[in-house]
A and B are shown apart, each in its own frame.
Chain A
Amino acid sequence: MDFMVFQYPMITVQACLDGILLGILFALIAYGMALQWGVMNIINIAQGDLVILGGYIAYFMYLYGIHPAWGVIVSPIIMYFVGVGIYKLVINKVVDRDLFISILATFGISILFMQLMNFAFGADVVLANSGYGTTFLFDSAVVLPNSKIFSAFVSIVFAICLVIYMKKSKLGRAIRATAQNARAAKILGVDTEKVYAATFGLNAALCGVAGALISITFTIHPYMGLPYTIRSFMIVIVAGLGNLPGVAMSGMGLGVFEEFADYILGTEFRIGSVFLLLVLILVYRRFKLSRKREYLK
């Protein structure tokens, strides 16, 4: 297993393509995290659980005989209201407080969601079968399920729509203004409370889209949320806030890294290597900054 990657170049191609398609999905989730981080200065540990919840919505549509691809439309609409609900119940009480308080509060939400999903949907690994078939490339040496291509395509479409929306619409402008300076925005008549709620809702909706796509392409499980949170956090800190091409690039990079880690180290170390990579990236940046006597904060 260990040296397959070097002996069979096609495996490398396979891993790269898989990784890039997967990474586009990660980038979509990370974009949501960057959005709310930039606007509200909150790191949402429950991000991954919102993704999984969105996935279960698509999965349930599949169970009731609707094609799961429609989940891409339905799931963000439901998730938007879930997001606004979470904001109204919890997040608006921790927005201006110490960052650790918000991390801990969203950690609590994460545990809550994880367990509620475990009760509602059971602890099995599930998958919504889209029936899209597969594409074979290079004499069948590289196998790409069409659902992965579909999901990457849909993520790109959603990302572009969101960018245009943020640039052109009134709410988008209000969100950007609040991100730059919440107080100034308030003085100029922006209802920041509403903007925060909408931002959190938008983030949840993005998670819903990503979750629906993940339920089609990969598998979902109630406890699989935290790795998605960590991945999106990692992508955001590598790319920086508000750097969209950077988010896309580092998302794809992470996807490729994961596929290779999967091939080289074995599947049991896949999640572990993601978490370890986060630690390494943070430590690397800490040493880089400390030469200038600065620090990550």
Chain B
Amino acid sequence: MNKNIILYATILIFGLAAPFIFPAFKVQLSILCVLIVLATTWNIQGGEMGYNTFGNILFYGLGMYLCASVQVGMFFPLAEWTESGGEKTFVHTPSQFFQGMAAGLVVAAVVPTIVAGLIGYAILGLRGHYFAICTLGLGVAAGEISGGIEIIGAGQGFTTPPFPNVGGLEARGEFFYFLSFGALVLTFIAVRAIYSTRFRLILNAIRDNEDKAEAMGIETMKYKIIGWMISAFFCGLAGGIMGGLVGYIDSTDVAFDGREMGVFMVLMAILGGKGTLWGPIIGATVFHIFKEGFWTFFLGWQYVALGVLIVVIVIYFPEGIMGWLREKYPERFGEVVDEADRKAQVELK
């Protein structure tokens, strides 16, 4: 326990100091925080509950559009904003910007949660690959439909309010970094808290055998919906922050980007090891470093590399980094290992 506190304190201090140590990477660090949030919340479904969803991108995109719409709509007519491309005609004062952002983030987190609760009963009754394909369809449908709605910019996109001119050049990066880092800390605390309760055991029971869990008297549907609502809350929040960070929302390329962000969150959780608390965090960090470090070498070939990466990870590392560590050092994970048994297994291999 003592060791854990030191570990968390180190990470927290490092996280708070990071934008000042690496001032050039502020945007990258903010994106990393958002990615970790997405991977961690995907893990609640995919890892703990055994419901492999491609649909969490729905809440992410929804949060993105909602946050920006509220931020604009609170002070200016939304339709005129999206029509004129935004910033030329209307300018947010600093207080308007921050008030709008705060209200927007609340809406961006709450509304997807409600949506998840409403559609959860219908969608979470599906199992296995039907659930996976259904959620994939849901995400793509949301992207296609939002691309046809005029008031949020339709096909031409939606420019989010530009950051007001306060606090110099560095202020924008720092503001969004601390916002996303705050979301990350909030997510981590919440996820860690629910993982230490009976709730996680119920989710694991659903993953391992849903029929038996139901026979044991667990109301599986209730817990599945609650799990999905928790994911939706943080996905929406992450989406709202990301929308402000990117500064521009497009229906299929930024918000409901099933081909990029929707796959990334699955991939990061699997790379790190699904069904663990730290797995998605490690996975997201490794993935982001790899992506940012090597993307430039694959100039233009990023998606080809991404496709290959997905296939390789899925085929050769389905257990992820944490799974590999667990196999290598089972003692660290609190498993009691019989030395003779282990030797025998090694010899068998």
A residues at B contact (CB < 8 Å): 43, 90, 93-94, 97-101, 103-105, 107-116, 118-119, 226, 230, 233, 237, 266, 268-269, 271-272, 275-276, 278-279, 282-283, 286-287, 290, 295-297
Instruction: Judge whether B147 is part of the interface by a CB distance below 8 angstroms.
Output: yes
A268 to B133, Cβ gap below 8 A? no
Please state if B307 and A269 are interface contacts (CB–CB under 8 Å).
no
Q: Kindly state the separation between the CA atoms of A50 and B87 in the bound complex, as whole angstroms.
A: 43
Measured CA separation A265–B75 after assembly (Å):
32
CB-CB under 8 A for A282 and B311, given A99-B129, A100-B52, A101-B318: no
With A and B bound together, what is the CA distance between A77 and B123 in angstroms?
Answer: 40
Summed over the interface, the residue pairs from A and B with CB atoms below 8 Å come to a total of 136
Q: How far is B155's CA from A98's CA once the two chains are assembled, in angstroms?
A: 38
User: Cα distance A97–B144 when bound, in Å?
Assistant: 32
Offer 30 A-B interface pairs, CB within 8 angstroms, sorted by A. Answer: A43-B129, A93-B315, A94-B314, A97-B318, A99-B129, A104-B267, A104-B310, A107-B310, A108-B308, A108-B310, A108-B314, A109-B311, A110-B307, A111-B303, A112-B307, A115-B306, A226-B140, A266-B148, A268-B155, A271-B140, A271-B144, A275-B144, A276-B137, A278-B133, A278-B137, A283-B126, A286-B126, A287-B122, A295-B126, A296-B127
B122 near A99 (CB under 8 angstroms)?
A: no
Q: Are B307 and A43 in contact (CB-based, < 8 A)? A: no
> A266-B148, A271-B144, A279-B141 in contact; A108/B307 too (CB < 8 A)?
yes
B138-171 interface code vs A (CB 8 A; 1 in, 0 out): 1011011101100000110000000000000000
The interface residues of chain B lying within 8 Å CB-to-CB of A107 are: 263, 310
Within 8 A of A (CB), among B43-74: 52
Question: Across the interface, which residues of B come within 8 angstroms of A237, CB to CB?
Answer: 130
Q: With A226-B140, A233-B133 known to touch, is A287 a contact of B311 (CB < 8 Å)?
A: no
Q: Is B148 a contact partner of A269 (Cβ separation < 8 A)?
A: yes
- Given the complex of chains A and B, what is the CA–CA distance between A82 and B195 in angstroms? 45
Given A108-B311, A282-B134, does the pair A295, B127 have CB atoms closer than 8 Å?
yes
Chain B contact residues: helix, strand, loop or mixed:
helix
**In the complex, B334 has a CB within 8 A of chain A:** no
What's the nearest-Cβ distance from chain A to residue B287, in Å?
Answer: 14
A90-B311, A275-B141 known; A111 and B147 CB under 8 Å?
Answer: no
Scoring B residues 254 to 296 as 1 if CB is less than 8 Å from chain A, else 0, what string do you get?
Answer: 0000010001001100100000000000000000000000000
Does B1 make an interface contact (CB < 8 A)?
A: no
Given A108-B309, A116-B304, A272-B141, 12 additional A-B pairs, CB 8 A: A94-B314, A99-B129, A103-B132, A103-B133, A104-B267, A110-B307, A112-B307, A112-B308, A115-B307, A266-B148, A272-B147, A276-B141
Shortest C-beta distance, A49 to chain B (Å), equals 10
Residue among A94, A99, A115 with most chain B CB within 10 A: A115
Q: Which residue of B lies closest to A106 (CB)?
A: B311
Give the size category of B's interface with A. 35 or more
Roughly how many angstroms separate A192 CA and B276 CA in the complex, as a whole number?
37
Chain B residues within an 8 Å CB radius of A98? 318
What is the CB-to-nearest-CB distance from A4 to chain B, in angstroms, rounded to a whole number?
Answer: 19
Contact yes or no, A94 B306, CB < 8 A: no
Name the A residues within 8 Å of B217 (CB-CB). Answer: none
Complex CA distance for A235 and B333, rounded to whole angstroms: 46
In the complex, which residues of chain A have a beta carbon less than 8 angstroms from the beta carbon of B318? 97-98, 101
Q: Return the contact of A283 from the options B123, B266, B300 (Cβ within 8 A).
A: B123
Interface residue? B247 (CB, 8 A): no
Per the bound structure, the CA–CA distance linking A270 and B130 in Å amounts to 22
- Known contacts A90-B311, A108-B308, A275 near B133 by CB under 8 Å: no
Contacts of B154 in A (CB 8 A): 268
